[in-house]
Structure 1
Amino acid sequence: MKSFPITYNEPVIEQVLEHYAEYLGDDFQKYRNHVYRVFHYALYMVRKSEHMNSKVRGQLAYAAAFHDIGIWTDKTFDYIKPSIFAMQEYLQNYPDTKIIAGMIFWHHKRSAYAGKHQLLIESFRRADWIDVTKGIKSFGVPRELTEELISVFPYHGFHMTLVKKSFKHILKHPFTPFPMFKS
């Protein structure tokens, strides 16, 4: 899609992922590509708003980099709070961590988010759903952009990795199979 620029190397994302590379291990590239796809979908949805600026771009990049990191840092599928904790620890002196925490906390909400920072949180929530559903849920993102992002940042089995990790979690916690989902 020629009208929407693809960023191949976002400094914020690269720095965070490099910091957590040891935790990510063999899943590094899978997660990196997921992060970039989510980041771009969120950027696409926010791009035309009067709120889009470098500060918002940085917030989206941090949220994308950290949103699932707790799966690897804490070896858990109940990863929302560990992901937020990792972000807060990493960004101790960064303003607006509450907005980033909101994006992470609500990114698995099953219905639309309404509330403070709605544009960013809802765009980020939708962006993750687009990627998790492989574009079946598009929320208005053009198919051409989805296809381009998948070609540039391929899945590399990311979804199967999530299925395997969720299955292990379900075996250990059958009464809370998907703790990350919010109503």
Structure 2
Amino acid sequence: MAEIEIKLERANVEELFSRYKDIIGKDFPGYRNHVYRTITYAMHFLGNDPKLERLVETIFVYHDIGLWTDHELAYLEPSETVALEDNQKYEWGLDPEVLRGGIHWHHKIFSYKGQHQNIVEACRKADWIDASKGLIRKGLNKSAIKEVELAFPNLGFHDTLLRLAKDYGGSALIGGIKVTRGIVKW
């Protein structure tokens, strides 16, 4: 597999985030870096195809956004809704089915098979790598993951997820169960 390409700045990502930075609030730096890490991994799996870059960037800016916009632990559908509404409102022209699929299936445990499989599967694998802090590598070597993590430090992102599970669920245990039931797909 080719060496991983790291882009420290992505104008499209920053523009997309500009609408939500205040809503995400203190969690923004950690979420931003999570988004940059996942984009980097997904684009690597897609051979850094420039034709897919804007779509992948948009999927990842929006993939967890429902945590903050809707204060929901079952945040996939709210995240999809916000992404699809913005796609239409701002006339980005992104395929709504690919946008929805990349968000909807990013927590799928087993490989995704279906429409737009290459993009959805790249996004799914990328999020699993980052969610597991590199314990699940999906074919990437440890040094590539470390390089990406050094470029975009965690900044407490995983702690934020635990805090939100507790805040929205009433306790870490109940929140964890709600998150698992609401977002994990087989």
TM-score normalised according to structure 2 size: 0.89
Q: 2:163 maps to what in 1?
A: 164
Q: SS of 1:31's equivalent?
A: helix
Q: 1:180 maps to what in 2?
A: 183
Query: Unaligned stretches of 5+ in structure 1?
Result: none
Q: 2:77 maps to what in 1?
A: 81
Question: Is contact 1:169–1:177 with CA below 8 Å preserved after alignment?
Answer: no
Structure 1 residue 155 corresponds to structure 2 residue 154: yes
Question: Is contact 2:74–2:178 with CA below 8 Å preserved after alignment?
Answer: no
Q: 1:40 maps to what in 2?
A: 40
Given the superposition, is the C-alpha separation of residues 177 and 32 from structure 1 closer, same or farther in structure 2, using an over 3 Å criterion?
closer
Q: SS of 1:44's equivalent?
A: helix
Query: Unaligned stretches of 5+ in structure 2?
Result: none
Once the two structures are TM-superposed, the CA of residue 166 in structure 1 deviates from its matched residue by 1.6
Give % identity.
33
Question: Is contact 1:45–1:141 with CA below 8 Å preserved after alignment?
Answer: no
Q: Distance in 2 between matches of 1:138 and 1:177?
A: 22
Structure 1 residue 56 corresponds to structure 2 residue 52: yes
Mean Cα deviation higher: 14-23 or 162-171: 162-171
Q: 1:22 maps to what in 2?
A: 22
Deviations 1:115-159 (A, max 9, x none): 111111011001000000000000011211111111111001110
Deviations 1:12-36 (A, max 9, x none): 2111111101111001110000000
| Structure with greater helix share of residues | 2
Q: Which residue type is aligned with residue 50 of structure 2?
A: S
Question: Is contact 1:113–1:122 with CA below 8 Å preserved after alignment?
Answer: yes
Once the two structures are TM-superposed, the CA of residue 81 in structure 1 deviates from its matched residue by 0.9
1:91 alignment partner, one of 78, 87, 90: 87
Q: 1:143 maps to what in 2?
A: 142
Q: Paired residues, what number? A: 178
Q: Distance in 2 between matches of 1:129 and 1:9?
A: 22
Deviations 1:86-142 (A, max 9, x none): 111211122312101100000011111111111110110010000000000000112
Once the two structures are TM-superposed, the CA of residue 177 in structure 1 deviates from its matched residue by 4.5
Name the Cα RMSD after superposition: 1.8
Q: SS of 2:183's equivalent?
A: coil
Q: Which residue type is aligned with residue 30 of structure 1?
A: G
